[in-house]
Amino acid sequence: MIKKLRLNSEKDTDQFAKLIAKNIFPGMIIGLSGDLGSGKTTFTKYLAKHMGVKDTLNSPTFTLLKTYQGDLNLYHMDVYRLENIGYDYELDDYIYGDGVAVIEWYPYIISMLPDNILTLTFTFIDDVKRDLVIEGSGKYEKILQEISD
C-alpha cells in the first residue's frame, strides 16, 4: 500500500511522527530516503520525542548508529557512508533487534534489509513544505490505513 502526504510545515512532520510512534512495535524497521535537508533526521527527532526519548537526538552521519531509550529502544542509523560498501555486519543486531530501527539512506543497504519494511520518501518542495510517500505491506498496512488520503 502507498500513501502520499503533503507536509505543509514541520508541525505536520511532528504530527505524522506522532502517528507512527503510536503504532510502534518491537522489530519495526523504518527506511528513510530523500535528498540532504529533506527532513529525514527531523522526522526521526519527532519520532523520538513521541516515543518518550528524553535525550537530544543528533544526526548519526559520522557514527553510523546512535541508540536511544524510549518506550522501545530507538536505533537511529545513517548509512550514507556505506554507499560503496553496501553491508555492515555490526548493524545486523540492531536491524533485527527488538527495538525500532530508523535508517536514513536505507537504499544503500537494501540487501541487508527484510522485504517488508515501512519506507518514507521525503521530497523538498520549499523551505517549509515537503512531500512524503509512505509505503509498506503486511504488518505495516494497518498504519497506512490510518493515514487519510
Ligand X SMILES: Nc1ncnc2c1ncn2[C@@H]1O[C@H](COP(=O)(O)OP(=O)(O)O)[C@@H](O)[C@H]1O
Residues that bind ligand X in the complex, under the rule CB under 6 A? 7, 9-10, 12-13, 34, 36-42, 104, 128, 130
- Interface residues with Mg ion (CB under 5 A)? 40-41, 59, 104
Q: Mark 27-66 as b/e (b = at least 16 C-beta within 10 Å).
A: ebbbbbbbeeebbbbbbbbbbbbbbebeeebebbeeebbb
- Helices vs. strands in the chain: H and E counts, helices first: 4, 7
Choose the one of Mg ion, ligand X, none that binds residue 42, judging by a C-beta under 5 to 8 angstroms depending on kind: ligand X
The one-letter code for the residue type at 44 is: T
We find the least distance from the C-beta atom of residue 19 to ligand X, in angstroms, to be: 14
CA gap 112, 31 in Å, rounded = 12
We find the least distance from the C-beta atom of residue 49 to Mg ion, in angstroms, to be: 16
Choose the one of ligand X, Mg ion, none that binds residue 10, judging by a C-beta under 5 to 8 angstroms depending on kind: ligand X
Other CB atoms within 10 A of residue 9 CB: 12
We find the least distance from the C-beta atom of residue 38 to Mg ion, in angstroms, to be: 9
CA distances (Å), 65 to each of 52, 75, 82, 92, in order? 19, 7, 12, 12
Choose the one of Mg ion, ligand X, none that binds residue 128, judging by a C-beta under 5 to 8 angstroms depending on kind: ligand X
In terms of CB distance, is 31 or 34 closer to ligand X? 34
We find the least distance from the C-beta atom of residue 121 to ligand X, in angstroms, to be: 11
In terms of CB distance, is 104 or 112 closer to ligand X? 104
